[in-house]
Amino acid sequence: MTKRHFLSLLDLTPAELQKLILRGIELKAQHQCGENKDLFQGKVLGMIFEKSSTRTRVSFESAMLHGGGGAIFLSPNDTQLGRGEPVEDTARVLSGMVDIVMIRTFHQETLEKFAQYASIPLINGLTDNFHPCQLLADMQTYYEHRGSIQGKRVTWIGDGFNMCHSFINAARQYDFELRIACPDSHRPDANILAAAGDRIQVGNDPQWAASDSDLVVTDVWSSMGHEGQQDNRANIFAPFQVNNEVMRRAHKDALFMHCLPAHRGEEVTTEVIDGQQSVVWEEAGNRLHTQKALLEFLLNTV
Ligand code: CP
Ligand code: NVA
């Protein structure tokens, strides 16, 4: 069998992605009965974090522990990566010591280089380009509440950055319509957009984007790495808040999602994120289950 990586949602076929959702649901039910114990017996996950994390770290580490395996947290501060050891050398060394690696870093190219030199599977735990693991949890959460997302209308409001790019890829792979409302200065990458074809529409009016929507999603206005631009961004993004007025444009049974961490009063109001339509806690919790399904898939296809 050939080694597979998960650097973006496009690395798996739509059928494989759908299977992961169903398997995530199955593993969740088994976890609730105290099962999952032998999934990763004797397996070790290496986790390189060049940016902060709560959910990604804890969900991956817990997934491995529940399955009888282990996970090693590696930060550039405490490893030779931070002192300039090349990623291609790190990839070859880790390939001899662990079974699978997850990296959270800035540039997608760092992941691609690691993947090129590694002989083990690699998972994207978030880059400036994509956050595919989050989308697995989001798609599982939608499926659990509303069934198939195929043909539904999804609304992205906010920064055309990593999460927005992953929603564009998800629209291709899970076959839904995506309306994006973002400032003209923060549109998604033109190539990622072009590759997704006419199922994606981009504008700068949140009310238009949310009209008749089945799922409304947003993310922080200043992602990790944008800290110095925070004040300017707060002004630019102020018209792109998800509030009750925006949610009223969506279908009555529309869901609200946010990958978290959230800033109440900025990209989303307290009423919306803590309201009836919000599924953010399940969405965060599902990271554990879909990532177990992903780890199982990648470890078993090596
Ligand atoms: N959503 C998400 O990836 O959260 P963390 O940054 O806490 O991992
Ligand atoms: N867009 C956010 C997502 C965090 C999970 C960031 O990159 O900081």
CATH 3.10.310.10, applies to 134-281: no
Q: Is the pTM of this model over 0.95?
A: yes
Q: Is the peptide bond before 261 cis (omega within 30 degrees of 0)?
A: yes
Report domain extents, the chain: 5-131+284-301, 134-281
Which atom of ligand 1 is nearest to 52's Cα? 6
Paired residues of 178 in beta bridges: 154, 200
Residue 146, φ and ψ in degrees, nearest 5: -130, 0
Q: How far is the CA of 258 from the centre of ligand 2 (A)?
A: 10
- pLDDT reported for residue 257: 99
- pLDDT reported for residue 51: 97
Does the fold of domain 134-281 match that of domain 5-131+284-301? Answer: yes
- pLDDT reported for residue 80: 96
For the chain, 302 residues long, the average pLDDT of each consecutive 10-residue run is: 91 98 98 90 98 98 98 95 96 98 98 98 98 98 98 98 98 98 98 97 98 98 94 96 98 98 98 98 98 98 66
- pLDDT reported for residue 129: 98
Q: Is the CB of 55 under 6 A from ligand 1?
A: yes
What is the best residue among 48, 49, 260 to mutate for testing ligand 1's pocket, by most ligand atoms within 8 Å of CB?
260
H-type helices in the chain, by residue range?
14-32, 55-66, 87-95, 108-117, 132-146, 162-174, 190-196, 206-210, 230-237, 244-249, 270-273, 280-300
Q: Is the CB of 51 under 6 A from ligand 1?
A: no
- pLDDT reported for residue 302: 56
- CATH node for 5-131+284-301: 3.40.50.1370
Q: How far is the CA of 77 from the centre of ligand 2 (A)?
A: 20
Which atom of ligand 1 is nearest to 260's Cα? 1
> Are the C-beta atoms of residues 36 and 67 closer than 8 Å to each other?
yes
Q: Is the CB of 134 under 6 A from ligand 1?
A: yes
Counting ligands in written order, which one lies closest to the CA of residue 159?
Answer: 2
- pLDDT reported for residue 203: 98
Q: Is the CB of 53 under 6 A from ligand 1?
A: yes
Catalogue the active-site residues. Answer: 104, 131, 134, 219, 259, 287
Q: Are strands 44-49 and 100-104 parallel, antiparallel or unpaired?
A: parallel
Which atom of ligand 1 is nearest to 259's Cα? 1
- pLDDT reported for residue 1: 58
Q: Is the CB of 54 under 6 A from ligand 1?
A: yes
- pLDDT reported for residue 34: 84
Q: How far is the CA of 54 from the centre of ligand 1 (A)?
A: 5
Which atom of ligand 2 is nearest to 223's Cα? 8
